[in-house]
Amino acid sequence: MSEQLEEILTRYARGDASQLIPALQQVQERFSYVSPEAVRQIARHLKVSESEVYGVASFYSQFRFEKPGKHTIKVCLGTACHVRRSDRLLEFFERTLNVTVGHTTADGLFSLERVACFGCCALSPVVVVDDEVHGRMTTAKAQRLLKKYGS
Amino acid sequence: MRTLDALRQEATQTWQALEQETRPRVLVGAATCGRAAGALAVIEAVEKARRERGLEVLVTEVGCLGLCCMEPVVTVYKPGRPAILYGNVTPPVMNEILQRWLLGDDPCLDRAIATVNGDRLDGIPPFHEHPMLKAQSRLILRNCGVIDPTNFHHYLARGGYLGLENALRMPPEMVIEQVKRSGLRGRGGAGFPTWRKWQLCREVPGSPKYIICNADEGDPGAFMNRALLEGDPHSMLEGMLIAGYAIGASKGYIYIRAEYPLAVQRLRTAISQMREAGLLGEHILDSSFSFDIEIREGAGAFVCGEETALIASIEGRRGMPRPRPPFPAQSGLWGRPTVINNVETLAAVSHILRDGPDSYARLGTSNARGTKTFSLAGKVQRTGLIEVPLGITLRQIIFDIGGGIAEGRAFKAVQTGGPSGGCLPASHLDTPVDYESLTAAGSIMGSGGLVVMDDRNCAVDIAHYFLSFTQAESCGKCPPCRVGTQRMLWILESIQAGTATMEDLDLLESLAQTVKAGSLCGLGQTAPNPVLTTLRYFRSEYEAHVRDRRCPAGVCRALITYRITDECTGCTLCARLCPMGAISGQRKQKHVIDPNRCERCGACLDACSYRAIVVN
């Protein structure tokens, strides 16, 4: 991992603290989360303290510090989705998968996340599994989705 | 100054060749919204017909036409015949259209929405006369859903970069003067005159100067910027170049949400096309103007829509706002003069410099010139992306363009301006949509999200929804916002739980005023708006929660019960879906809900196709 990390970090000028967020984004894209080791190496490379790296990364909702599951389910909780009761969908996933939002199922198959708005408001409510957007969702459709990705 | 003439000539030929194409063409709206509705499967269906049946047909991915409620939408050009726009196209429907219309001679009018290019066909309105489009004026969106957003020729052929060429022939001050004459005000929400921001930045000493495009669009319920960047990225980029030239900037940043991967991809493609055409770099088109653009992806913080927070984020820090003045135009990114404009503002600039300021200023009202894009969502029949002249009323938008409330329900409220805005009731439907009128009604224009609510939406629940959003997104720097929104949220929760008193309502109102007056940035200053407007227009609903322990809209869980009526056919679907095992009954016989086990999650309500479950 550390060599791959080094390889990513060489794209950013040493000591350029303004590259902190893009560096975190690249690291997360490659490893799907930001590990303690990644934080250490980013801090060393950009010459900022580790606590500053954590401070910035934890401020933004994009960054994860836990390894995510095989599939990520994102439930959109934007306004249009909310008025079409996306809270019910989130609750359905929480109950069915026995996991709370922001975490991964015990079998490592699904991570459950929420997004503030996915910008597909006209097709609300929206659920995104990995990179696939599913519009006009219902509980019954959600059940089918889990079957599709769970097998 | 070198011009793009040769390139544009080539582009015009490409475009004309397309119009004279002898093969049929299929345009599929494949922006993120179209994809969510299944556009990629439709494209695959056409490709398959081409491969397997040897059907000679050209397929093009275009952006969103704005008719999101009918997605996926497909335009079919059959040479020598009227072009037809179809809606709700699934792969089987696509195959049917290919079979009946392209191989046969039946235009499948049962699937058609409109004709394109001004042609008429029995019973099918031309595009611009479709009820959803009639009241619209599409300047900003004119290319969306029409051109291939990855094809530079398409943008050029339709007048692209003429605005930049015009600008480069003028001194920068004159460009600012043109924008002043157009009356353009910032489309990000606050409505500050664009020219004044530019002039301030131009006059301030200091270099380099920066222009930042704010494409963060964090408002839940808004997707105008996403659709524009996915459907016509160059229109914003051209505006960014013009703005950069006008203020004397040498570098531009696009700050865009990471949640919009397709928009980011479209921008990257467009930027590399610009570089190749000499529209970025040193001495653009052999002029004295040198400029470059860099994309920065946001990392999911709503507060970064706030200028000073956005700057902090680009600098690699936590996105926390700072007090103003100094304004970013005086001291912005790395302490240099910086202008931050919204995507739509910049797209309007390219239009203004191409067609002249008067063409823009003749639309709208005396105080709010031009057009504004809105994303129309929620409980309205026709949801989608629209562009209307300012001054149009909410009623025209919701009922004429949106077709009224879905499922024959009653209109209750419209939320304008996202979490910073407010909910306006039916008595305000004739409010003209402009900055001042909406502010007078207690709401704001905001970036342009319009979410329509019907009688099944609870005013308290909506206020709670927005406040929990802003509370979670508060950066925590100033106490009125950090502590105040939290305290307000607790009161709203007690109202929803049926444990609040009438005094709590007064406390909620006075806290809201304090947070509004005392917060450091726009997030905190506007966070109480949804609470204040719902208290103002739906106070009786709050009182029903507090006094009668009742939620009239049937939403707040602690105050409602579910019941199954005699309409129940005993299909067992609800019982199988209920996560609590609270529903029981024999097959083909009426079921019952055990109120002690029921958690009012609503899964049964969604699933029942006989409307046999009611909320009391």
- DSSP line for B362-430: TSB-SSSBSEEEEEEEESBSS-EEEEEETT-BHHIIIIIIS-SBGGG--EEEEEESGGGSEEEEGGGTT
- Rounded Cα distance between B61 and B59, Å, is 7
CB atoms within 10 A of CB B614: 14
Identify the weakest region by mean pLDDT among A70-84, B288-302, B470-484. Answer: A70-84
Q: Is the pLDDT score of B73 beyond 90? A: yes
Put simply, the chain B residues between 333 and 362 with a CB less than 8 A from any chain A CB are none
Picking from B606, B609, B613, B615 by the largest number of A CB atoms within 10 A of its own CB, the best residue to mutate is: B606
pLDDT at residue B405, as a whole number? 96
Q: pLDDT exceeding 90 applies to what percent of chain B?
A: 86
Q: How many residues does chain A have?
A: 151
- Please report, as a single letter, which amino acid is at residue B603: A
Contacts across the A-B interface (CB distance below 8 Å): 163
pLDDT mean over B124-129: 91
- DSSP line for B537-582: H-HHHHHHHHHS---TTS--GGG--EEE-TT-----HHHHH-TT--
pLDDT mean over B595-614: 85
Question: Which among B302, B449, B579 has CB closest to A92?
Answer: B579
Q: Tell me: the pLDDT tens digits for A104-118? A: 999 999 999 988 888
Q: How many residues does chain B have?
A: 616
pLDDT at residue B219, as a whole number? 84
> B545 — phi, psi (to 5°)?
-65, -45
Burial of residue B595 (number of CB atoms within 10 Å: 0-12, 13-18, 19+): exposed
Nearest CA distance, A95 vs chain B (angstrom): 7
Q: In what order do the strands lie in the sheet with B338-342?
A: B292-297, B251-256, B210-215, B338-342
- Rounded Cα distance between B311 and B334, Å, is 8
Picking from B64, B69, B315, B317 by the largest number of A CB atoms within 10 A of its own CB, the best residue to mutate is: B317
Picking from B601, B604, B605, B613 by the largest number of A CB atoms within 10 A of its own CB, the best residue to mutate is: B601
Chain B, nearest residue to A46 by Cα: B316
Chain A, nearest residue to B68 by Cα: A122
Taking the model in full, what pTM does it have? Answer: 0.93
Q: State both tokens at B454.
A: 């019907």
Distances B457 to B553, B556, B601 between C-alpha atoms, Å: 6, 10, 15
Q: Tell me: the pLDDT tens digits for A113-139? A: 988 888 788 788 999 999 888 888 988
Question: Which among B221, B317, B475 has CB closest to A121?
Answer: B221
Q: Is the pLDDT score of B36 beyond 70? A: yes
For CA atoms B514, B515, B517, B518, the dihedral sign is: positive
pLDDT at residue B2, as a whole number? 85
Cβ contacts of residue B53 below 8 Å, gap of 6+?
Answer: none
Q: Is the pLDDT score of B578 beyond 90? A: no
What H or E segment, with its residue span, contains residue B357?
Answer: helix B357-361
pLDDT mean over B523-532: 95
pLDDT at residue B602, as a whole number? 80
Show contacts of B316-319: CB within 8 Å, 24+ apart. Answer: B316/A17, B316/A18, B316/A19, B316/A20, B316/A21, B316/A56, B317/A20, B317/A56, B318/A55, B318/A56, B318/A59, B318/B475, B319/A59, B319/A60, B319/B475
- Rounded Cα distance between B533 and B114, Å, is 39
Question: Which among A19, A117, A134 has CB closest to B36?
Answer: A134
pLDDT at residue B306, as a whole number? 92
What is the SS3 assignment for B75?
strand
pLDDT at residue A115, as a whole number? 85
Question: Which among B301, B375, B466 has CB closest to A60?
Answer: B301
pLDDT at residue A151, as a whole number? 64
Q: Label residue B450 by pLDDT band (50, 70, 90).
A: very high
Given a contact cutoff of 8 angstroms between Cβ atoms, the answer to whether B475 and B303 are in contact is yes
Nearest CA distance, B7 vs chain A (angstrom): 34
Inter-chain CB proximity B606 and A138 less than 8 Å: yes
Q: Tell me: the pLDDT tens digits for B355-414? A: 999 999 999 999 999 999 999 999 999 999 999 999 999 999 999 999 999 989 999 999
Put simply, the chain B residues between 93 and 112 with a CB less than 8 A from any chain A CB are none
Q: Label residue A1 by pLDDT band (50, 70, 90).
A: low
> B157 — phi, psi (to 5°)?
-65, -25
Nearest to B304 by CA among B375, B217, B199: B217
pLDDT at residue B567, as a whole number? 92
Nearest CA distance, B485 vs chain A (angstrom): 18
pLDDT at residue B119, as a whole number? 72
Identify the weakest region by mean pLDDT among B18-22, B194-198, B285-289. Answer: B18-22
Picking from A83, A89, A131 by the largest number of B CB atoms within 10 A of its own CB, the best residue to mutate is: A83
pLDDT mean over B563-592: 90
Given a contact cutoff of 8 angstroms between Cβ atoms, the answer to whether B422 and B442 are in contact is yes
Inter-chain CB proximity B466 and A117 less than 8 Å: no
B607 touches chain A (CB under 8 A): yes
ipTM of the complex model: 0.89
